[in-house]
Structure 1
Amino acid sequence: MKIDNFDKAILRLLQENSRLKSDSIAEQVGLSATACQRRIKRLRDMGAIEREIAVINPDLSTHQLTLIVQVVIERCHAEMLDRLTAQFLAEPEIQQCYNVTGAFDFLLIVTAENMTSYDRFTKRVFFDNPAIQEFTTTVVMENVKRGLELPI
């Protein structure tokens, strides 16, 4: 995937605000609005822009708890790992899922309404799953920084 400095500048602006109009972007990057529109379409078509989402104020969510969960799995084969990954992908409470190296195998960012709902989640997802050896939960006290912008 080849992108030039204009594309990078456009992507940086769109990461901050995907609702920017092409004329505003064009003015900031030094291109015409038409050239910007063509580049944005090309960036979407080539998969450089995967999707555009609305970032909702967390105060509006019923899920007020954020938890960081470290998961250790039993020694397993590829098929079991694929099933576990598919299960994590299907769980709406799991906001982010990382397969990692080190002392644990997965790092999950989970949201829950309260500790009672998190307890139900752990029983359903972890305790009832023979592939899970153990898990450790850390409760987030304050979200200091939240974002998905990538350096380009």
Structure 2
Amino acid sequence: MAELTNQDRALVRLLQEDCRLTNQELADRTGMSASVCWRRVRALEETGVISRYAAIVDPDAAGLKFRAMVHVSLARTDAATVHSFLEEVGRRPEVLQCYATSGSPDYHMLVMCRDLDDYNRFYDEFLFERSCVGQVSMHLIVKTVKSDVKLPV
């Protein structure tokens, strides 16, 4: 898809706010006809600008009271080891986000669990068991200042 148009940006902003809006509601709010609106949304989906739709769940209401930023440095960084580690991270439901960054440590993960016991199980059964994991540090999140999933389009 070429550069986003103003209409595309308006659609993306509205859908980020409430993805349950009907096509007619989107069209009305953006000043487009329903058919043009439908084609624009479809194009945004097909080109991957909109990759999926999801419900945003409140972690406290879902019982996820333990939140931490976990920093992992790998002891070995050959391609096969990194690939295996990242695949395993991708399968862990406790890991909501994982970022590879420059410098040290190698990976930063947002981890959410019910409580400290759940985190200890995650640590013992996953991180501690990976021979490629060299060092782990954890910073407990004591207060959420800002948490949003809307991109500034």
TM-score range, shorter chain: over 0.9
Which residue of structure 2 lines up, in the alignment, with residue 120 of structure 1? 121
Deviates most, 95-104 or 55-64: 55-64
Q: How does 1:63-78 map to 2 (within 5 A)?
A: 63-78=64-79
Which residue of structure 1 lines up, in the alignment, with residue 149 of structure 2? 148
Which residue of structure 2 lines up, in the alignment, with residue 21 of structure 1? 22
TM-score (norm 1): 0.93
Deviates most, 16-25 or 136-145: 16-25
Which residue of structure 2 lines up, in the alignment, with residue 39 of structure 1? 40
Which residue of structure 2 lines up, in the alignment, with residue 107 of structure 1? 108
Q: Gaps (5+ residues) in structure 2?
A: none
Which residue of structure 2 lines up, in the alignment, with residue 85 of structure 1? 86
Shift of 1:46: 2.0
1:18 maps to a residue whose letter is: C
Distance 2:117 2:109 in 1: 18
Describe the superposition over 1:30-51 as per-residue Cα deviations: whole angstroms up to 9, x where unpaired: 2112211121122112222100
1:124 maps to a residue whose letter is: E
How many matched pairs?
152
Q: Gaps (5+ residues) in structure 1?
A: none
Which residue of structure 2 lines up, in the alignment, with residue 50 of structure 1? 51
Over the aligned positions, Cα root-mean-square deviation in angstroms equals 1.3
Distance 2:59 2:86 in 1: 26
Which residue of structure 2 lines up, in the alignment, with residue 132 of structure 1? 133
